[in-house]
Structure 1
Amino acid sequence: MAGYGDDAGFQQWASENGYDVPSGTVAAARQRGSSYIDAVYGERFPGEPAGGIEQDRSWPRVNATDKWGNAIAVDAVPARVIHASYHAALQELQSLGSLEPVVVAAERVKREKVGPLETEYMDGVEGQDALAASTPLLAAVEGLLEPLLTPVGGFPAMMVV
């Protein structure tokens, strides 16, 4: 399963945006960045995967349009999706594992008291499970993908990393 874009495109994008990317780590980071995009936004992309359920990635898609009603070619992966996956890949390179939160239900704290100080933590976001509520959302990715997202399903509370 290949990530969106390609290694040369990622390196060029990073350079044009002033980011330093160590060589030799690009392919794996692109893979993780693309997996993040599909996992977090896949069900909110318009249309359906062109290759059906067996398609590895969310794009390309059939019956897809942007928020203005412009059709997206059935064999296309929008540049916005590719660049969003590059942003996610960069985040993963800067902080390995940051795109994959791990939530252990038994370790979540509802209330904590230390001396006279007492803190109660919100137990997720209403209507969401703990994993969805703890998934990081990147502001740059949100901005890039906004014209492609449908309002289907709940929108997670934004936790920018």
Structure 2
Amino acid sequence: MLALCLLLGAGGCARHAENEGEFRELIRQYDQRLAMAFDTYDLKPFGQSLTASHFNRLDHRMTGMKRAGQKMESRVLAIEFLEFKDLGDKQLGFPRFRVKTREVWNVRHIDARTGKVVKEVKGLVYELSYEFEQHDGVWQVDAVEVLGQKIPS
């Protein structure tokens, strides 16, 4: 009986570790696409990797920046993965997963008309919570919440 419990536990850990690798890659891709989207005002690079609600939130934010005549160039320098949690499927009936990270970014806000840097922050540290939802076997980003932010002095 003990051997069966250990075997089942090991299988669960292997599946969890497999999920961790998948979510690490999804977050890296999301960060790259986000940087590209805010530089070009184009969400197409995300493809089907976002839920409709998260796509709409990003589109609203991007439209606001475009109307304000600003672009944003950003680059992630480091990602530390802090927590992986299976949230089950109770909320909306779709499998959900949460990953918390600590990320270091360089960010530049640029006046789109003149090309001049309006604001630049190097080494900006974000603590983020990514929530994923699975549709038709594909994990999509459903929400990204800033849990904390530290601007370097």
Normalised TM-score (structure 1): 0.25
Q: Which has the higher contact order (CA 8 A, sep 6+)?
A: 1
